[in-house]
Structure 1
Amino acid sequence: MDMELVVSGPTIEAAIQAGLAQLGVPREAVEIEVLDPGSPGFLGIGAREARVRLVVRETAAPLPGPAPEQIEEAVAHAISGLLASLGIQATLSVAPETVEGPEERGNYSIWTVRIEGPTASRLIGRHGRTLYAFQTLARAIVARRLGAFIPLVVDINGYRAKRAEALRRLALKKAEQVMATGRPVELEPMPAAERRVIHMALKDHPKVTTYSIGEGEERRVVIAMRWTSEGNA
């Protein structure tokens, strides 16, 4: 469920605040990584902006305040408004859901919005990019309305399950390619949620391993041979 953002600013703190405003989350809901502290240069020559990466924690929970009924109303209002502004007629359901997280973090709760309608698929885009942008906008609207970050996932016409299955098949296919050639394979850039599907699909694979490279929208998964002290496992 991670959201992540790489943002620049004249100082580290300015970059952090700009990123929090774009994500619509409080500071305590994110992990902050300073990619470049920046430099004022000399008399303005060689000045360089600071760059930080903000990652919303999977376990980030709403700040104390909004009741479940308020959250459901705010989410439904935000999504309905966005759909109406885009001229899309669809039905939607909003409900809390418990999701199985990584072993070190445990399960966590999210609010799931399921949108169904013949024209709603216009919001998916290539490999779900439009859907993720729509979801980010919805999260920001709800966060501003309630004054709290709400873990929110949007699905359209069952796209997420279909995409996850396609990604799992891709992961296994590329794993076979890596084993056949011995060379690592870089996948195309993916959102954090999709990268996690790849990682989870191959986490117990005896021959290959996975890791991520790149920043922001260019972050991608690499599948490579798993090596041990005894050689290729």
Structure 2
Amino acid sequence: MKYFEIEAQSIDEAIDKVVSEQKYPREFIEAEVIEEGSKGFLGIGRKNGLYKIKVNDYEYLKRKIKLTLTEILEKMDIHNFRVEIIEDYPTCKFNIISEDSNILIGKTAQTLNALQHIIDKIFNLEDESDKQFILDVENYRDRILTYLKEKATSLAANVLRTGKPAKMPPMVTMIRKEIHMSVKEIKGVKTESYGNGDIKTLYIVPEKGKKKRERR
């Protein structure tokens, strides 16, 4: 939620100011009186009231992302699709259901990650540190995350047994963070990431006696 304290002659005028200046639709706005104004006598001694305006920017952002994503998919000539919203606050997932799911995912999820990058930039989602807005195609991210967690657990067991680091495939940040957290629960090993940009290679290494590796 976002909150504004607005001085105005009436509660409707206070709401109008937020709609005009902040560009939020009225349907996402609630208002309450902090201090009543006074009309004065014949306009003399008139005093503005003070109003607290509450904007449900989370719901507004959800709607804007869905509308923008729909426009992008239509311009990509994707047909017969729908976008479902799956919420597990603070995570909000926009899951695309389509006959063209393989096209939308792309090789090693390149197309899906590109769509995520576009939406992130349009709405400055990097600034939404307390919430996550994730794009997916027919729950691909969930499926690949389950697979990668199982692979990481297996590789971690090998690292504990042999003392040799293990390499995992390059991953985007949101997937890599999940693997980091998963491996963190296994005593005796840790993860290290190497590379530039959003996609980096992840290694599982022994916590003690590891050899420093060159960045790749």
Partner of 2:179: 198
Asked whether the 8 Å contact 2:173–2:199 carries over to 1, the reply is: no
> What are the Cα deviations for residues 167-201 of structure 1, in whole angstroms up to 9, with x where unaligned?
11110121133233321123222111121222122
State the 1:218 CA deviation.
5.3
Shift of 1:165: 0.5
CA contact (8 A) 2:172 2:199 kept: no
Identity of aligned residues (%): 23
Matched-pair contact (CA < 8 Å) for 1:189–1:221 = yes
**More RCO (CA 8 Å, sep 6+):** 1
Q: Report the Cα distance in structure 2 between the residues aligned to 1:151 and 1:180, rounded to whole angstroms.
A: 36
Does the CA contact (< 8 Å) of 1:184 and 1:225 recur in 2?
yes
Q: Judge conservation of contact 2:84–2:95 (CA < 8 Å) in 1.
A: yes
Unmatched runs of 5 consecutive residues or more in structure 2: 1-53, 210-216
* Structure of larger gyration radius: 2
Normalised to the residue count of structure 2, the TM-score between the two structures is 0.61
The aligned length equals 152
Choose the corresponding residue for 2:77, options 87, 107, 118. 87
Offset at residue 217 of structure 1 (A): 4.6
Q: Which residue of 2 aligns with 1:114?
A: 95
RMSD: 2.6
Report Cα offsets for 1:94-129 as digits up to 9, x if no partner.
35531xxxxxxxxxx243211112213311123322
- The amino acid across from 1:92 in the alignment is V
Larger deviation: 177-186 or 71-80?
A: 177-186
Q: 2:67: which partner in 1?
A: 77
Tell me the equivalent position of 1:177: 158
Q: Of 191, 199, 211, which aligns to 2:192? A: 211
Structure 1 residues 65 and 121, CA gap change in structure 2 (3 angstroms) = farther
TM-score, structure 1 normalization: 0.57
